Structure 1
Amino acid sequence: MKTLTALMAAAALALTAGIVQARDLGPDEALTLRDAGTVQSFEKLNAAALAKHPGSTIHETELEQEYGKYIYQVELRDAQGVEWDLELDATSGAVLKDHQDQ
């Protein structure tokens, strides 16, 4: 019985650990990171996202900390009305993910 209880506790801990790995950063913290040079300017990150889909408009942005890295998430809508989700490394500006929203 102790083994089953320990196994269930370990499984619960493993499930919650994945949830805690991503943390949304508030506006004040995001601006502090930008001002310190830890992350690139939001204008530069937005330009990198728009360069992937010229003619698009930005609908939402978010800065998160995931596994110790800063990730800038951008939701775009292109001229044909297709929605795109991009993730950029907020430190380097490199595009990490670029996929059509479904």
Structure 2
Amino acid sequence: MKTIATLFTAASLLLGANLAMARDLGPDEALRLRDAGTILSFEKLNEAALAKHPGARVEETELEDEYGRYIYQVELRDSNNVQWDLALDAKTGEVLRDQQDD
């Protein structure tokens, strides 16, 4: 029984540590980072995402701090009504992930 409790505690701590490493940034903090030149403008980031799927439209965006790296999450819907999830490095605009949503 002690082994199960130890495993559960370790799993809980690991999950909590992972959640603490990634956090959503609010609009004020995102604008501050943009104005400081730490991240690209949201227009440039959206353009980089839309370049991967011409004719698509942006449905949702979110800026996250993941392990000290700013990641811009974008949901797109293309002309065939397919939803795409993209992750971009908010500092460089590099597309890190581009996958069709299930």
TM-score of the aligned structures, taking structure 2 as reference length:
0.91
Match of residue 35 from structure 2: 35
Match of residue 24 from structure 1: 24
What runs of 5+ residues in structure 1 fail to find an aligned partner?
none
Identity of aligned residues (%): 68
In the alignment, structure 1 residue 84 sits paired with structure 2 residue 87: no
Task: Give SS of 2:63's match.
Answer: strand
2:20 aligned partner, one-letter code: V
Deviations 1:24-45 (A, max 9, x none): 0000000000000000000000
Q: 1:2 to 1:92 in 2, by over 3 A?
A: same
What runs of 5+ residues in structure 2 fail to find an aligned partner?
none
Q: Which deviates the most, 6-15 or 30-39?
A: 6-15
* Number of aligned positions between the proteins: 102
TM-score of the aligned structures, taking structure 1 as reference length:
0.91
Shift of 1:6: 5.6
Q: Distance in 2 between matches of 1:3 and 1:80?
A: 52
Shift of 1:66: 0.3
Q: Distance in 2 between matches of 1:37 and 1:72?
A: 15
Q: Distance in 1 between matches of 2:77 and 2:84?
A: 6
Match of residue 101 from structure 1: 101
1:20 aligned partner, one-letter code: A
